[in-house]
Structure 1
Amino acid sequence: MSIHRRIAPRAIMVQGTTSDAGKSVICAGLCRLLSRRGISVAPFKPQNMALNSAVTVDNGEIGRAQAVQAQASGLEPHSDMNPVLLKPNTDIGAQVIVHGKALRDMDAVTYHDYKPKVMDAIMESYDRLQSQYQAVVIEGAGSPAEINLRENDVANMGFAEKADCPVIIVADIDRGGVFAHLFGTLALLSESEQQRVKGFVINRFRGDIKLLESGLEWLEEKTGKPVLGVLPYLHGLHLEAEDAIEEQQLNDSGTQTLKVVVPVLSRMSNHTDFDALRLNPSVDVTFVRQGTRLPSCDLIVLPGSKSTRSDLEFIRDNQWDQDVFRHLRFGGKVMGICGGYQMLGRFVHDPDGVEGPSGSSQGFDLLDLETTLEPEKQLRRVEGVLKLPGQEQVGITGYEIHAGNTKGQALENSIVSLEEHNDGAISEDGQILGSYLHGIFDHPDACKSILEWAGLEQVIVSDYNSIREEGIDRMADAIEDSMDMSRIMGVMFEVGSEVAEL
């Protein structure tokens, strides 16, 4: 028998009573706060289910929330920060991405049985981060109290138990029922899991904290757990969402606005592409959902899709294709991004069944190109030059996530020059534009150029990266002011007790 001292966990896991309780933004704020204090910190999410993803420095694919948290930590995003990403392609199935690379499609039952192998991959990534950084801030997924998902759990308490890390539980008081959420979540955990919970955080509180104090005292008395903080509702805060489409507008009423319409596809991916537009005071973005026709506007943008062919059918079922053709007849502009770009061509072929049943689907036939889906996904971060007709060339950055190989005469009128290849196409009449680049609106100069192409005469240039930085800093400041960081730091870095090891 040998005796050794258990080292400090050097980690904290933020779990939530519900989805969208604020886990992602709190983790980003904690990463920024620890980084400010001179601690090298990395974000980590064992398993993420989202259609919003980012390309990493090692050419992998992770959830966008972890990319933002990496930015908060002063790091480039890496596939170890989100070792398992699930991208739903049906109601019961998803593409399983492990260590940044697509493994294969699995239905829910098959993936549930596969989770023990996934846990090995998760721990490999976590151990690498632990060896490289002084601290790891971990984000859970959904709720740890989902009874039907407890067996083989890798996203919440299953991981916390395996990694032996402390947990705080967050609830959103703006939704209502915050005390029931926190008390009930704790009650549904096992005894060892309950002991792992070091306290609660209440998020998005509005009003006088004195009115909440009796409830906080009750919660602490009933659970024996401290309330580590009550975070205020931060009006106008912008940090990228994982799945929920944020429709808040920040337009100045006195400025000319460009009306942009985005149809919400059934498997819409990377809706964060539109955040830079939504936050630009020159632009009015409307997301149109199933069952509603596309209204009149200046620009229709067809977004990315995880299932391009099925979303083409979805578009036709909603008669949005007719709306697009009418919009063009009236002189409007149309743009496609990634899957939306593929839809603008003559056909989308899927001979290997990459995104569903094998076969071909007719596109909009607005650009002279065809796309063939291939098993090997193309993942790359790029920078280059945007060259729209009649405008000065400007710098552009973005990232590609697609399985499509696109060919055709339209590619001779490419719109982006990259180091290794050209990207996108524009129609001869200048009304229709397509590109594979996600994040195409994030670069201020590129966004200005596209908005001018779309018809906006006076463009207010907003720096989207600065808006994101401001959001991260606001969250970090709120945590500094409203959470018991001394207790959280103690939980993360205190040396544990001696344990026996055979």
Structure 2
Amino acid sequence: MKARTLMIQGTASSVGKSLLVTALCRIYARRGFKVAPFKSQNMALNSAVTPDGAEIGRAQYAQAEAARAVPCAEMNPILLKPETTSGSQVVVMGRVLGSMHFRDYHRRKPELREVVGQALDSLRERHELVIIEGAGSPAEVNLKDRDLVNMWVAERADAPVALVTDIERGGALAALVGTLELLEPAERARVRAMVVNKFRGDPALFEGGVRFLENRCGIRVAGVIPHLGDTGIASEDSLDLRKGEPESRGGALVCILRLPRLSNFDEFEPLAREPGVEVRWCERPEDLEGARLVIIPGTKCTANDLGWLRRTGLAGALVRRVHEGQPVLGICGGYQMLGERILDPLGVESSEPDVAGLGLLPVVTRFEKEKSTAPVSLRLGEGLPGMRAAGGAEVRGYEIHCGQVTVAPGAQPFGLRMRTGEDASQVPEGCVTRGGQVAGTLVHGLFENVPVRRALLSEFGVTTAGASPADPYEVLADHFASALDLTYLDQMVGL
């Protein structure tokens, strides 16, 4: 028997669909159901690597964790990673299909429906319940003829739909009513519930709004969700970053460059949650003043974002910082920028075949068509800037990159990549200058490891408390469960 389904759609992007799906995955998983998340197409520069090396959206990876399921490509069969304002790298079933203009991608949507349908069927055959997330809004009438993400999926999965909106933005009533008005009768009939998200204050004050929605739309409001604040769960979209505002206030300052094509920024969120650290996203040279550590993060467009560093004056500020003996860390694309040259003769990420790097590390990057995606176990080296106390620690992370880095002979590695099985070995990874001011690695996820954060805090002279944080998925599930009409949702699903 195929799994039952429930679909969460929204009145717009960033209204809370992903978090609601994440919460429902944990709610039903802890009730004993074998649950899986599904989002047919995700557009995001935050991605993750499954245990078998497939690349999927970071949100679907987190949802799989919440569902206590093994993340797999079927959970997010299509991932779009924007490269320009009009084009994206297209990842299908965890592997790169190519870079496309949005117009060309739109033409290929009909053939991609088969991929989406097969992925959904595969999940339903292996699970009891699939929680499906839509994208954007189902009322985007100009896209309906080639819909891959909303009502076409709901019909394909025969899924009842809960429509969620964000009341914090304002206009929540109009968003819900307007969305339903623009749906075709058969589509509207699939919408069985409405959810109002991010409510501040006393929910009793919104009882009139609930009555209005139910009377006007003839659909039950299945929950008014109080605003939760920081969930402790990785963010999906750079819209979640607040320009010029620190992610955390007070304490030792860590500056992270807010690159135009910033990717995988969620890996720094665990650091931002540490007491005694202020994490600030920076776009100007003066923003770096007083920083104990500056990080150049990953990017989808390394050469182009390096050009942005030069235009803004940040490149010069980084060089001056290193000459003054202050530490700089580069991760993935940031690591490549710190090197001597970035070569892209095949035009994988840039139209520039040869670009000079910042010259702070003895490495050269060459871009290849084949993308490297893999989970990684890394034994950290000695003398790493800002985290010397973590030397020798074994940490876990992941690689997602097309740039292949060649390190000069005799250079000190950032760490040793640990290989197991028949190919058991320790392979040098990354690079550190002898003075320890500059370091780079291709491995994402360093700050998701407790030893790395503890080493950084120790170097900053920050004393840490020993209390273990609560499981964020449990906190999220409790929060949503207390406000949702779960009995009604069960009836919708047929449980």
Give, in angstroms, the shift of residue 251 of structure 1.
5.3
Q: 1:432 aligns with which of 438, 441, 458?
A: 438
Q: Aligned residue for 2:311?
A: 317
User: Separation in 1 of the partners of 2:146 and 2:270?
Assistant: 39
Task: Output the amino acid matched with 1:279.
Answer: R
User: Any residues of structure 2 matched to 1:392-431 within 5 Å, and which?
Assistant: 392-409=391-408, 412-420=411-419, 421-431=427-437
Task: Output the amino acid matched with 1:305.
Answer: T
Q: Aligned residue for 2:193?
A: 199
Task: Output the amino acid matched with 1:407.
Answer: T
Q: Note if contact 2:247-2:280 (Cα within 8 Å) is conserved in structure 1.
A: no
Comparing 156-165 with 198-207, greater Cα deviation is found at 156-165
User: Any residues of structure 2 matched to 1:471-490 within 5 Å, and which?
Assistant: 471-490=472-491
Q: Note if contact 1:334-1:432 (Cα within 8 Å) is conserved in structure 2.
A: yes
User: Any residues of structure 2 matched to 1:214-225 within 5 Å, and which?
Assistant: 214-225=208-219
* CA deviation profile, 1:305-358 (whole Å, cap 9, x unmatched): 101011111111111101112222332110000000000000010111111325
Tell me, what secondary structure is at the counterpart of 2:472? Answer: helix
Tell me, what secondary structure is at the counterpart of 2:173? Answer: helix
Give the aligned CA root-mean-square deviation in angstroms: 2.0
Q: 1:348 to 1:461 in 2, by over 3 A?
A: farther
Q: Note if contact 2:2-2:127 (Cα within 8 Å) is conserved in structure 1.
A: no
* CA deviation profile, 1:274-308 (whole Å, cap 9, x unmatched): 10111111211110237975433111100101010
* CA deviation profile, 1:407-459 (whole Å, cap 9, x unmatched): 1227731122122322111101110011111111111012223455xx41235
User: Separation in 2 of the partners of 1:450 and 1:258?
Assistant: 10
Give, in angstroms, the shift of residue 478 of structure 1.
2.0
Give, in angstroms, the shift of residue 84 of structure 1.
0.3
User: Separation in 2 of the partners of 1:228 and 1:8?
Assistant: 26
1:54 maps to 2:48: yes
Give, in angstroms, the shift of residue 9 of structure 1.
6.3
Give, in angstroms, the shift of residue 250 of structure 1.
7.3
Q: 1:138 to 1:52 in 2, by over 3 A?
A: same
Task: Output the amino acid matched with 1:226.
Answer: R
Q: Aligned residue for 2:376?
A: 382
Q: Aligned residue for 1:493?
A: 494
Unaligned runs of 5+ in 1: 1-6, 495-502
Q: Note if contact 1:201-1:229 (Cα within 8 Å) is conserved in structure 2.
A: yes
Q: Note if contact 2:285-2:313 (Cα within 8 Å) is conserved in structure 1.
A: no
Unaligned runs of 5+ in 2: 420-426
Task: Output the amino acid matched with 2:472.
Answer: G
User: Separation in 2 of the partners of 1:215 and 1:44?
Assistant: 31
Q: Note if contact 1:346-1:362 (Cα within 8 Å) is conserved in structure 2.
A: yes
Q: 1:318 to 1:45 in 2, by over 3 A?
A: same
User: Separation in 1 of the partners of 2:146 and 2:229?
Assistant: 38
Task: Output the amino acid matched with 2:464.
Answer: I
User: Separation in 1 of the partners of 2:229 and 2:485?
Assistant: 22
Tell me, what secondary structure is at the counterpart of 1:274? Answer: helix
* CA deviation profile, 1:47-96 (whole Å, cap 9, x unmatched): 00000000012210001011111110112211111000000001000000
* CA deviation profile, 1:80-118 (whole Å, cap 9, x unmatched): 110000000010000000000000111011000100111
Q: 1:380 to 1:115 in 2, by over 3 A?
A: same
User: Separation in 2 of the partners of 1:17 and 1:280?
Assistant: 34
- What TM-score, normalized by structure 2, do the two folds share? 0.93
User: Separation in 2 of the partners of 1:26 and 1:249?
Assistant: 26
Task: Output the amino acid matched with 2:455.
Answer: S
Comparing 31-40 with 323-332, greater Cα deviation is found at 323-332
Q: 1:8 to 1:478 in 2, by over 3 A?
A: farther
User: Separation in 2 of the partners of 1:290 and 1:115?
Assistant: 40
Q: 1:249 to 1:288 in 2, by over 3 A?
A: closer
Task: Output the amino acid matched with 2:437.
Answer: Q
Give, in angstroms, the shift of residue 209 of structure 1.
2.0
Q: Note if contact 2:166-2:198 (Cα within 8 Å) is conserved in structure 1.
A: yes
Q: 2:60 aligns with which of 56, 60, 66?
A: 66
User: Any residues of structure 2 matched to 1:212-251 within 5 Å, and which?
Assistant: 212-243=206-237, 244-247=239-242
Q: Note if contact 2:2-2:124 (Cα within 8 Å) is conserved in structure 1.
A: no
User: Separation in 2 of the partners of 1:371 and 1:156?
Assistant: 40
* CA deviation profile, 1:167-201 (whole Å, cap 9, x unmatched): 11111111111101111111111111100101100
Q: 1:90 aligns with which of 84, 93, 101?
A: 84
Tell me, what secondary structure is at the counterpart of 1:354? Answer: coil
Q: Aligned residue for 1:4?
A: none
User: Any residues of structure 2 matched to 1:33-432 within 5 Å, and which?
Assistant: 33-243=27-237, 244-247=239-242, 257-289=251-283, 294-389=288-383, 391=389, 392-409=391-408, 412-420=411-419, 421-432=427-438
Q: Note if contact 1:296-1:327 (Cα within 8 Å) is conserved in structure 2.
A: no
Tell me, what secondary structure is at the counterpart of 1:86? Answer: strand
User: Separation in 1 of the partners of 2:326 and 2:284?
Assistant: 22
Q: 2:449 aligns with which of 426, 435, 443?
A: 443
Tell me, what secondary structure is at the counterpart of 1:212? Answer: helix
User: Separation in 1 of the partners of 2:25 and 2:160?
Assistant: 16
User: Separation in 1 of the partners of 2:77 and 2:240?
Assistant: 24
Q: Note if contact 1:260-1:297 (Cα within 8 Å) is conserved in structure 2.
A: yes
Q: Note if contact 1:250-1:281 (Cα within 8 Å) is conserved in structure 2.
A: no
Q: Aligned residue for 2:424?
A: none
Tell me, what secondary structure is at the counterpart of 1:413? Answer: coil
User: Separation in 1 of the partners of 2:464 and 2:452?
Assistant: 12
Q: Note if contact 1:9-1:164 (Cα within 8 Å) is conserved in structure 2.
A: no
Q: 1:55 to 1:104 in 2, by over 3 A?
A: same
- What TM-score, normalized by structure 1, do the two folds share? 0.91
Q: 1:130 to 1:53 in 2, by over 3 A?
A: same
Q: 1:282 to 1:293 in 2, by over 3 A?
A: closer
User: Separation in 2 of the partners of 1:410 and 1:302?
Assistant: 24
User: Separation in 1 of the partners of 2:409 and 2:254?
Assistant: 24
Identity of counterpart residues, as a percentage?
38
Greater relative contact order, per chain length (Cα 8 Å cut-off, separation 6+): 1
Comparing 162-171 with 410-419, greater Cα deviation is found at 410-419
Q: 1:402 to 1:471 in 2, by over 3 A?
A: same
Tell me, what secondary structure is at the counterpart of 2:20? Answer: helix
Q: 1:460 aligns with which of 449, 457, 464?
A: 464
Tell me, what secondary structure is at the counterpart of 2:106? Answer: helix
Task: Output the amino acid matched with 2:331.
Answer: I
Number of equivalenced pairs: 480
